[in-house]
Amino acid sequence: MKREIKFSLVYRDMWQSSGKYVPTVSQLKEVAPAIIDMGCFDRVETNGGAFEQVNLLFGENPNRAVREWTAPFNKAGIGTHMLERGLNALRMNPVPADVRELMFKVKCKQGTNISRSFCGLNDHRNLRLSVEYAKKAGMVSQVALSITNSPVHTVDYYMGVVDKVVEYGCDEICLKDMAGVGRPTFLGQLVRDIKKKYPHILVQYHGHTGPGFSVASMLEVARAGADYLDVAVEPLSWGKVHPDVITIREMLKADGFSVKDINMDAYMEVRSLTQKFIDDFLGYWIDPNNSRMSSLLVGCGLPGGMMGSMMADLKGFHGAINAFLKAQGKPELTLDRLMVMLFQEVEYVWPRLGYPPLVTPFSQYVKNTALMNLMNILKGQPRWTTIDKDTWNMILGKMGKLPGELAPEIVEIAKSKGLEFYTGTPQEAFPNELDKFRSMMKEEGWDFGQDDEELFEFAMHERQYRDYKSGVAKERFNKDLEAARAKAGAPIVITRPVVEMPKYDIEGIAAKYPSAVPVQAPVKGQLLWQVDVDDVSSAPVVGTKVEAGKPLAYVQTYYGMEEVIPAKDGRIVAICSRQGDNLVKGEILAFVE
């Protein structure tokens, strides 16, 4: 009898690997019947990750969104799964244990059946509570291994993580190949070893297509015993996203597997509706580079979804770097040459930082460190001159145990700064907070919501939740949308980028102040020189003193606030952005000398 391979549609990740936003709840409800009618999916990835922050930024209630989006799939008998980040749960920074526990209770009540839990460092200690809380709440616990390719990430290494999470009681294992760099034969061997040792454990594979391995990987893991494969649909399949279900189904059918038929009329309806959502407004924030595959991702191992943000970083640096080089009488660099140099620096930095799997947020830490190294090298300064606070927390073990050993030079820098390495369990550093949030909600006169879901949302995303409740989020989004539509001036297509034009003569400023260091936007979002100040003239003035490591400004993103941290002490010699400006990642905000 042919062995069956089942498919999961990663409709949430399709969008979030492509752009800033996901569809609104009304759009999700519109497409759900067609997804069900396709007839080929046993699971749909419905929520988790940044999904709920996006709802809050729309000014929508994320709890309503999850309940209404999962309901039709539950009724049809299709499993729903969410993505959560272990210690970080649904955000980018650590979450207290009591808030984490409430999350699983709420999500199960809202209709999410399966919790896919991952730790970016593969530290099983960060996953233990995820497994225990998911099971206690009545969910299926699926632990995801963050897959990468390095000398320390062997089959035995991953099996060590599997042994621990199975001991904790997980039901399934997912191979989360977020950069698509897992080598097919390696992944096949890992699946065989899991199935041989734990035949009762279901295995699911999730692989992005960026560098081109994932189709071969899907065939290898299927042959090795995998049960589920994550797939996408047009127009958001391939590129930096996931392979399309049609191709994968035909490949497996030809290889002798049993796979469900696809209702092509329904497929075309899903395809049409997805394009409709892009044309409506979501495409304004979709980077066209995400529709392209690139073998350049093989060497550096960075997730494909980072290519757009990385190019924004480089464009922000490009003019400043060439101004420095020109002032020194050296030849200028093309953007392509700079990109290759950055990839090479990532390859240099990564092992020296202990081989953290290049998944959010650790991929950002490695890339940012490489970028600052490259900037310093081109200016004739040593590597490691600039390491940000979050990267130091990773280095010091505050987020979990690094897979590899730190380079001696990194250890020496930490010692010279008087920094201490943390060896405790990461969760212990973050005490419970629900009582505090209960008190604040009572003071505001806010209801805790059905199954305490509003309490959970407030505790998980306080700043965004307050903006949602006050109406600021809806107002801000409508203004952003109006500006995006005005800029486009015509119906959008996915291949047409909306590019923010430079506002200032960056090269001229850099040439005028050759020893100044640029202060850049760490992420894409809205600039806030001061939080909660609407005056567009609100900003520090030239001559303002700044301190390295202390926030100079903030960027409002779809998942929360990000601090803008200057790399050195000094004074501002030029300001290049105003309060409320919409920034691309890497855009220069000011120069400090």
245-299 pLDDT, tens digit per residue, is 999 999 999 999 999 999 999 999 999 999 999 999 999 988 777 788 888 777 7
- What number of CA atoms fall less than 13 Å from residue 364's CA on the CB side? 18
Distance CA 85, CA 116 (A): 8
219 in helix, strand or coil? helix
Which range (102-106, 185-189, 412-416, 540-544) has the least confidence? 540-544
Residue 237 clears pLDDT 80, i.e. is over it: yes
Per-residue pLDDT band for 548 (boundaries 50, 70, 90) equals confident
- In what helix (H) or strand (E) does residue 512 lie, and over which residues does it extend? helix 506-512
28-47 pLDDT, tens digit per residue, is 999 999 999 999 999 999 99
CB within 8 A of 237, min separation 6: which ones?
14, 209, 231, 243, 244, 245
332-382 pLDDT, tens digit per residue, is 888 888 888 888 898 899 999 999 988 877 888 888 899 889 888 887 889
Distance CA 584, CA 138 (A): 41
Total residues found in the chain within this entry? 593
Residue 142 clears pLDDT 90, i.e. is over it: yes
The residues pairing with 563 across neighbouring beta strands, listed in sequence order, are 554
The residues pairing with 207 across neighbouring beta strands, listed in sequence order, are 177
pLDDT (0 to 100) of residue 256: 97
363 compared with 397, residue with greater pLDDT:
397
Q: Say how many Å lie between the first and final Cα of the chain, rounded.
A: 71
445-498 pLDDT, tens digit per residue, is 999 999 999 999 999 999 899 999 999 999 989 998 998 888 876 444 443 333
Average pLDDT over residues 510-535: 72
What domains, with CATH codes, occur in the chain? Answer: 500-593 (2.40.50.100)
143-165 pLDDT, tens digit per residue, is 999 999 999 999 999 999 999 99
Distance CA 26, CA 24 (A): 5
Secondary structure in 3-state letters for 317-379: HHHHHHHHHHHCCCCCCCHHHHHHHHHHHHHHHHHHECCCCCCCCHHHHHHHHHHHHHHHHHC
Nearest to 46 by CA among 20, 18, 16: 16
Distance CA 199, CA 476 (A): 51
For 365, other C-beta atoms within 10 Å of its C-beta total 24
How far is C-alpha 254 from the chain's CA centre?
Answer: 34
Sign of CA dihedral 448, 66, 309, 301: positive
Q: Say if residues 592 and 568 touch (Cβ distance below 8 Å).
A: yes
Distance CA 459, CA 463 (A): 9
Q: The sheet that has 525-528: what strands, in order across it?
A: 560-564, 553-557, 525-528, 582-583
Distance CA 171, CA 229 (A): 16
State how far the alpha carbon of 5 is from the alpha carbons of 141, 227, 245, 439, in Å.
20, 5, 12, 49
The residues pairing with 4 across neighbouring beta strands, listed in sequence order, are 258
Distance CA 271, CA 244 (A): 11
Which range (115-124, 204-213, 266-275, 331-340) has the least confidence? 331-340
- Determine if the peptide bond prior to 361 is cis (ω within 30°): yes
